[in-house]
């Protein structure tokens, strides 16, 4: 199947000037439509979930995507979307994966959340050699993560854990909503890691999550932090309480604000950050839906909603990743987004900003 992956160029039928449709062209109200630079397809059997981008020391630029159904990673060329290789696929091996979900490439390391192994595995890049794993004793049903480098081989890793503390066979999402204070208070785990000498160690760990009020984290998967503002945004997908991005700080305290409340129509999902050197920028959050998939932008500092766009092709997006590095034809970076569990899409960030009238 891998050798038959289809890469469809969306530029062939249009001129460069027509790549971005005006903000008046809407799939639904308030959503500008931006044409993807490319969309890969051919990974439907993999059930892909989340991407990350890695820049190697010899010029490699890889898009690495988790594949939940086949217990592997899909590696693509991040510039073109062409398939390069697969990694893993053997669920019962200690250095392979069991339903990999969240993923993040940081420095020369790859962090992978494995829901069914109840852990985070760390691989060395570019070899994909396992450095070790952590979280087995604390995590129950982990999904997403955000990694904050601390320097000198030290990292803070935040991992979401949406589990139900009951054996009731009812729907898992409903059980998560009705979680006890014990479960709700452990929706996010923070691990302090030291990595070096070919191994890793967990120096300390703690869990957090509000158990009452607006800050309760019901169904959580994606999260992301901003080291400049100290904001930690956690996407709550629970439609019964009103999905939004809950604003926490790095110490696990709810900051009495839900970002995007009333803006999300479907399901709050993947989060990324366009973090600029001058302190400005935009948060990007997915409003996941099989037919009206959207991406909302919020001001980096004020957290105000500043625009919404949709792809011409991209639907049903789980994870996203923003890479600010210029590539040929994409001078202000690229937003990568999962497409309908079966592919990866690339948006020219300059075209997104132009469509929304943003600097």
CATH number at residue 64: 2.120.10.30
Residue 118 has pLDDT above 80, yes or no: yes
- Residue 251, CB-side half-sphere exposure with 13 Å CA sphere: 2
Residue 11 has pLDDT above 50, yes or no: no
Q: Of 95, 137, 93, which is closest to residue 112 (Cα–Cα)? A: 95
d(CA 143, CA 127): 24
> Do the Cβ atoms of 337 and 270 come closer than 8 Å?
yes
Residue 315 has pLDDT above 60, yes or no: yes
- pLDDT for 30: 77
Q: Of 12, 19, 15, which is closest to residue 312 (Cα–Cα)? A: 19
Give residues with Cβ within 8 angstroms of 354, minimum separation 6.
20
Domain count across the chain: 1
The one-character DSSP state at 266 is: S
User: What number is the average pLDDT over the span 64-71?
Assistant: 97
Note the maximum CA span of the chain: 56
- Residue 16, CB-side half-sphere exposure with 13 Å CA sphere: 4
Return the percentage of the chain with pLDDT > 90, whole number.
80
DSSP string, 184-216: HTTSEEEEEEEEETTEEEEEEEEEE-BSSSTTB
Q: How far is CA 311 from the centre of its chain?
A: 17
Per residue in 167-226, pLDDT (tens digit) is: 554 554 444 455 688 889 999 999 999 998 878 999 999 999 999 999 999 999 999 999
Confidence of residue 91 (pLDDT cuts 50, 70, 90): low
User: What number is the average pLDDT over the span 18-23?
Assistant: 31
Confidence of residue 16 (pLDDT cuts 50, 70, 90): very low
Task: Give the domain extent around 90.
Answer: 2-356
The model's pTM:
0.90
Report the alpha-carbon angle 45-50-55, nearest 5.
115
User: What number is the average pLDDT over the span 260-265?
Assistant: 95
3-class SS of residue 175: helix
Residue 138 has pLDDT above 90, yes or no: yes
Residue 18 has pLDDT above 60, yes or no: no
């Amino acid at each position: 199947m891998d050798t038959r992956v289809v890469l469809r160029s969306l530029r062939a039928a249009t001129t460069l000037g027509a790549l971005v449709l005006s903000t008046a062209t809407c799939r639904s109200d308030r959503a500008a439509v931006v044409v993807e630079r490319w969309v890969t397809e051919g990974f439907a059997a993999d059930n892909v979930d989340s991407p990350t981008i890695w820049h190697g020391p010899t010029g490699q630029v890889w898009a690495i995507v988790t594949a939940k159904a086949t217990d592997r990673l899909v590696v693509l060329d991040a510039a073109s979307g062409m398939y390069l290789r697969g990694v893993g696929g053997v669920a019962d091996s200690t250095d392979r994966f069991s339903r990999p979900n969240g993923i993040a490439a940081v420095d020369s390391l790859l962090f992978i959340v494995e829901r069914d192994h109840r852990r985070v595995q760390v691989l060395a890049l570019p070899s994909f050699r396992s450095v070790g794993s952590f979280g087995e004793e604390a995590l129950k049903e982990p999904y997403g993560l955000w990694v904050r480098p601390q320097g000198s081989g030290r990292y803070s890793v935040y991992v979401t854990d949406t589990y139900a503390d009951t054996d009731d066979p009812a729907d898992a999402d409903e059980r998560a909503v009705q979680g006890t204070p014990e479960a709700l208070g452990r929706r996010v785990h923070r691990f302090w890691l030291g990595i070096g000498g070919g191994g890793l160690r967990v120096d300390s760990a703690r869990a957090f999550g509000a158990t009452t009020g607006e800050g309760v984290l019901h169904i959580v998967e994606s999260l992301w932090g901003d080291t400049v503002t100290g904001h930690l945004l956690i996407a709550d997908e629970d439609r019964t309480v009103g999905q939004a991005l809950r604003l926490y700080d790095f110490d696990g305290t709810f900051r009495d604000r839900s970002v995007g409340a009333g803006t999300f129509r479907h399901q709050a999902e993947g989060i990324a950050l366009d973090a600029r050197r001058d302190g400005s920028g935009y948060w990007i959050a997915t409003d996941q839906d099989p037919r009206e998939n959207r991406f909302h932008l919020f001001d980096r500092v004020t957290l105000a909603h500043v625009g919404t766009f949709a792809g011409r092709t991209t639907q049903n997006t789980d994870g996203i990743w923003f890479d600010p590095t210029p590539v040929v034809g994409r001078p202000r970076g690229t937003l990568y987004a999962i497409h309908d569990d079966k592919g990866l899409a690339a948006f020219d960030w300059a075209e997104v900003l132009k469509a929304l009238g943003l600097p």
